[in-house]
Structure 1
Amino acid sequence: MATPRLLSRLLFPVPSVRTAAFTRTTPQLRATAQRRFASNPADQPGFQSILDQPPVLVRTGRKRHGPGLLILIAIPVTAFVLGTWQVKRLEWKTALMARLEDRIVKAPLALPPRIDPAAIEDFDYRRVLATGRFRHDQEMLVGPRIHDGENGYQVVTPLERPGGTKILVNRGWIAKSKKNHKDRDRDTLPTGEVTVEGLLRAPWKKNMFTPDNRPDIEEFYFPDIEQMARLVGAQPVWVEETTVPDFIDELNAKAAGKPIGRAAEVNIRNNHLQYIITWYGLSFATSIMLYILVRKPVGGTMRRVRQSKDWV
């Protein structure tokens, strides 16, 4: 059974506030909407939306490279030039080694009593014979020098020849523990007349990392032939005594303190072929990288954009 309050609401409903407000403001809203849409371009004849226009794909522009591109160009060019220079060096070094090896295979040449230092360059690596007596009291040690992983010295002993002239003979390598004469066997210091067979060598060149010799304290870091010859009153002639390599003989010589001579062979380094491969390979690789960098188009949205000429 309905209550009196519910019956009153059913019989006499109260107007909604929202409905009343809408009813009052509808004319104003309609007028506002008419003014707004009166200037809408879509209502104008011949209107065409930008969405209806066909899209035109255009490039955003060429890639621009700064001064860094010049550096990238210089890398393969420089590497190619260095590779070509190494080709020339390889040709020169191969010809030099062939000339020196041709001198080694010739029969030993007896050294004259007097030698012109200016002519030594033309006889570099020539096998020679020299007879005389070793002046062990004027011995000089050049080092340190490494032989088979062990530290030691090159023994340079003046050879006094008949007539009073002297030359410098590099007898070979000794261990550091055999530096003093008293630590060597007696027969490693021959006192009689000997005949030395070795290679006549041109003067050595000091590199920038080698310290200067200290002859005042008997320290020689590289064979300065002119300096060492003046010190002992000898001719500036350098002979490297040679021997036939033998492992057992070397062990016995090392234990006794006898200098281990060098083999009669050309020991000039020739790594130019490796340098050629390295420089030309670098030039080729960087050229490909440069080509990819220059020719590769920009990708994604940076490459193409939608263009509309009539924005309304």
Structure 2
Amino acid sequence: MGMPSRPLSTSSILVALAAVVMMLITARMGLWQLDRAQQKLALQAAIESQAKASPLSAALLPDNEADAQAQWHRPVTLRGRWQPAATVFLDNRQMRGRPGFFVMTPLILPDGTAVLVQRGWVPRDQLDRTRLPDVPTPAQDTDIQGRMAPWPSRLTQLGEDTPGVIRQNLDAQEYAREMALTLRPFSVQQTAGPQGDGLLRDWPVPAVDVHKHYGYAGQWFTFCAMIAGLYVWFQIIRPRRRRSPH
């Protein structure tokens, strides 16, 4: 006859519950990372699809944030007149690993509304950060090519910006009120401009690193398997070996 089974002690039950809980948590984290990878792949597909779409004209520009978001990264061709007096240099913005400014100028469309154009990037003067380059801005009507983009990202700052040419962040509503503009609910990243205007336009796109998420998922699933293996060894196999007669 086999050895009589021993009733489970309170400590054994608690260890079993703890192991099950940790296995569920680590497995769930692994599945979450796989889901994040799928989301990133869907985002990449959407970006590539939008980039290949036909350019939007002024007549087809969205009027609300929801419609604008559906058009992110789509090419756009606009004609309008720059408003250089409303130009703002956004500080602490990087391009190709260098600190500098994003040059932001509204373009007034024929219907009177304005689109904030991220015209490009310029480096910061290393000796005097308040010294700004002279960015050529045509006075006549201008055709620009770009892509639909959200409002520039907000950086962490202490206190609030004071009105001026150099700013850390730009609030859309406050800026529109300050400059007396009827702003569209998006911005445009200019992708081409006059030769020799001194602006870089190597705009970053959202990072889609799915391999990172696959790696994290593998780590979580490994933890889950390790917990299961350790529980089986220390709570089942090892105790049985100790009790078995030699």
Q: Give the TM-score band, short-chain normalised.
A: 0.7 to 0.9
8 Å CA contact 2:161, 2:168 repeated in 1: no
Letter in 1 for 2:24: V
Is 1:167 aligned to 2:115, yes or no?
Answer: yes
Is 1:216 aligned to 2:216, yes or no?
Answer: no
Percent identical among aligned pairs is 19
The residue that corresponds to 2:222 in the other structure is 284
- 1:181-238: CA deviations, max 9, x gaps? x7535x63333322111111244665xx723783434464345434433332131331
- For CA contacts below 8 A with separation 6 or more, give which structure has more relative contact order: 2
Change in CA separation of 1:165 and 1:278 when aligned onto 2, cut-off 3 Å: closer
Residue 189 of structure 1: which of 133, 137, 142 is its match?
Answer: 137
Query: Match of 1:297, SS?
Result: helix
The residue that corresponds to 2:48 in the other structure is 101
The residue that corresponds to 1:116 in the other structure is 63
Is 1:267 aligned to 2:175, yes or no?
Answer: no
The residue that corresponds to 1:151 in the other structure is 99
TM-fit CA distance, 1:170: 0.4
Q: Which structure 1 segments of 5+ residues have no match?
A: 1-58, 307-312
Is 1:91 aligned to 2:38, yes or no?
Answer: yes
8 Å CA contact 1:79, 1:279 repeated in 2: no
8 Å CA contact 2:26, 2:223 repeated in 1: no
Q: TM-score with structure 2 length normalisation?
A: 0.74
The residue that corresponds to 1:130 in the other structure is 78
TM-fit CA distance, 1:127: 0.7
TM-fit CA distance, 1:175: 0.9
TM-fit CA distance, 1:81: 1.0
Structure number with higher helix proportion = 1
Is 1:297 aligned to 2:235, yes or no?
Answer: no
C-alpha separation between the residues in 2 aligned to 1:150 and 1:111? 33
C-alpha separation between the residues in 2 aligned to 1:90 and 1:163? 42
C-alpha separation between the residues in 2 aligned to 1:290 and 1:157? 59
Change in CA separation of 1:152 and 1:80 when aligned onto 2, cut-off 3 Å: same
Is 1:238 aligned to 2:184, yes or no?
Answer: no
Letter in 1 for 2:190: E
Q: Following superposition of structure 1 onto structure 2, how do residues 42-121 of structure 1 map, counting pairs within 5 Å?
A: 64-65=11-12, 67=14, 70-112=17-59, 115-118=62-65, 119-121=67-69
Letter in 2 for 1:198: G
C-alpha separation between the residues in 1 aligned to 2:227 and 2:238? 14
Is 1:198 aligned to 2:139, yes or no?
Answer: no
- The alignment's C-alpha RMSD in Å is 3.7
Change in CA separation of 1:204 and 1:82 when aligned onto 2, cut-off 3 Å: farther
C-alpha separation between the residues in 2 aligned to 1:290 and 1:273? 26
Query: Match of 1:102, SS?
Result: helix
Query: Match of 2:175, SS?
Result: helix
Query: Match of 2:162, SS?
Result: helix
8 Å CA contact 1:213, 1:220 repeated in 2: no
Query: How many pairs were matched up?
Result: 232
Q: TM-score with structure 1 length normalisation?
A: 0.60
C-alpha separation between the residues in 2 aligned to 1:282 and 1:96? 24
8 Å CA contact 2:114, 2:183 repeated in 1: yes
8 Å CA contact 1:113, 1:165 repeated in 2: no
Letter in 2 for 1:160: I
